[in-house]
Structure 1
């Protein structure tokens, strides 16, 4: 795992998990619109990261930020649907109920990160997997965070990373072991995240997923999330 370059304007640059020839450029302020000078500097820093770097891939970008990157030659490589749920007062969000007594959630601790990374690797295509380091960075990306791991008969089968910044909550990363799907794990983790955000005063929760991920879209929409008109994009740059 490579060391991050911490640059100005709240951005991290590090090798993409499991693909060290790609630099991962992450805006730490999701609302930021970078200047062209910022992007030029980040391009140079990305290619200086290691001798292996051949291209640069961003995290998920809002439209205004994506426009700035497009001016510097970045191209869209993935589109994400953005969904939002308005959050009512705490008492209106009931505690989640597991579908089976053997299904439970607990705090995800640092020692669980490698297990979570294995679940992530089984749940997502190779190009979009997280390692333990990148999962730790997701937890640290917002002022307040909740990390939970789901277990079935004490065996880890899923996890959820949720963050809060100001009045907005972010369902940042959810993964369920393919062997444990259709057991209510994802729903339990989403309900837990929404309740936590509501109890801490968030007025809205945001989540993104692939525009063609029908299962995830159905899960979120079934729990009160509604698609916004704007989409997020992941962009890539090659010299």
Structure 2
């Protein structure tokens, strides 16, 4: 039953953004003749959602589900592309799609399979195109659309290109096109993944600081975060609180905040980000304690795998995460149109992008 205004029925389940892989449970018009079942599931990529219907692209084609019949909608991870541990079994493109929800942009728009993202310039990830899949037109035409889209928002056109560890931009058709159009690549970023269980197994037995966690973004946490990097309150708070679930970890010493970190939960994965440790508290196990607290929160939620991103030239962060059980999954490079070359950012030894 719909509301008088024509919207979804009362208590209608929250629906993820288009492009998310979901399972939609809904009521059948009549009980199944063989089993008597009154509910069924549709699994696939959510193509469109409005007040009347959900459209899901399944292996057998697109399926429309009346919004009023939907009883539950749940994000699910992509199908593994190879055998092995869950945190290693996804393809590069599928993990790129998974990571979107853990650091969500304020504004998004699909261009075929690509996802255009904007957050008023706050962070590279939230203001670049996720280019996994087919844009639905030639690469040159797609880049033209991207440039118009970002210029309309007074942002520099930027695209993120992912590939195996050590891949060459010039050897990729999109990479070669962007370089020819005077796009400037920033330092490559390593995406690392780990099993939650592994991170907890190698966790420190004790810590010199107290770590607390909360699902609420507190002013204290945010003040520490914006103390080490530029974080305009509007877009920053929207990104930090925009995942289906998020947890904020705070490390304190004598009542003073000496470290923060964030876990974004999306598509049954946990994304670690926003890691920072005060200079005065370095080499005291603070970052490892924060990481352990976030892994424990992931475990409490039934999450089995974690991902995070850190620059390839950030040796301290690379050592920290590899020592905690993370391994490289792939790399990506963000390219920005040269005449809009981005300013350098504040580097922190234990930070995630």
Both proteins in one fold, TM over 0.5: yes
Match of 2:319 among 196, 218, 221: 218
Q: Say which SS state the counterpart of residue 331 (structure 2) adopts.
A: strand
Match of 1:48 among 125, 132, 152: 152
Query: Per residue, is there more helix in 1 or in 2?
Result: 1
Name which of structure 1's ranges 76-85 and 7-16 shifts more when overlaid on structure 2: 7-16
Superposed CA RMSD: 3.5
Q: Deviations over 1:17-76 (max 9, x none)?
A: 49xxx996245xx684351455432311211223xx5x3345x65339x85753344442
Question: Does the Cα contact within 8 Å between 1:113 and 1:132 map onto a contact in 2?
Answer: no
Q: Say which SS state the counterpart of residue 84 (structure 1) adopts.
A: strand
Question: Does the Cα contact within 8 Å between 1:117 and 1:132 map onto a contact in 2?
Answer: no
* Residue 266 (structure 2) aligns with: 165
Q: Distance in 1 between matches of 2:119 and 2:131?
A: 21
Name which of structure 1's ranges 193-202 and 112-121 shifts more when overlaid on structure 2: 112-121
Stretches of structure 1 lacking an aligned partner (at least 5 in a row): 122-128
Q: 1:177 to 1:57 in 2, by over 3 A?
A: farther
Question: Does the Cα contact within 8 Å between 1:168 and 1:205 map onto a contact in 2?
Answer: yes
Match of 1:116 among 204, 224, 231: 224
* Residue 301 (structure 2) aligns with: 200
Q: How far off is 1:165 after superposition?
A: 1.8
Q: 1:87 to 1:134 in 2, by over 3 A?
A: same
* Residue 212 (structure 2) aligns with: 105
Stretches of structure 2 lacking an aligned partner (at least 5 in a row): 1-105, 340-353
Number of equivalences: 217
Q: Distance in 2 between matches of 1:11 and 1:99?
A: 41
Name which of structure 1's ranges 139-148 and 193-202 shifts more when overlaid on structure 2: 139-148
Q: 1:185 to 1:31 in 2, by over 3 A?
A: farther
Q: How far off is 1:88 after superposition?
A: 3.1
Q: How far off is 1:134 after superposition?
A: 4.4
Name which of structure 1's ranges 207-216 and 137-146 shifts more when overlaid on structure 2: 137-146
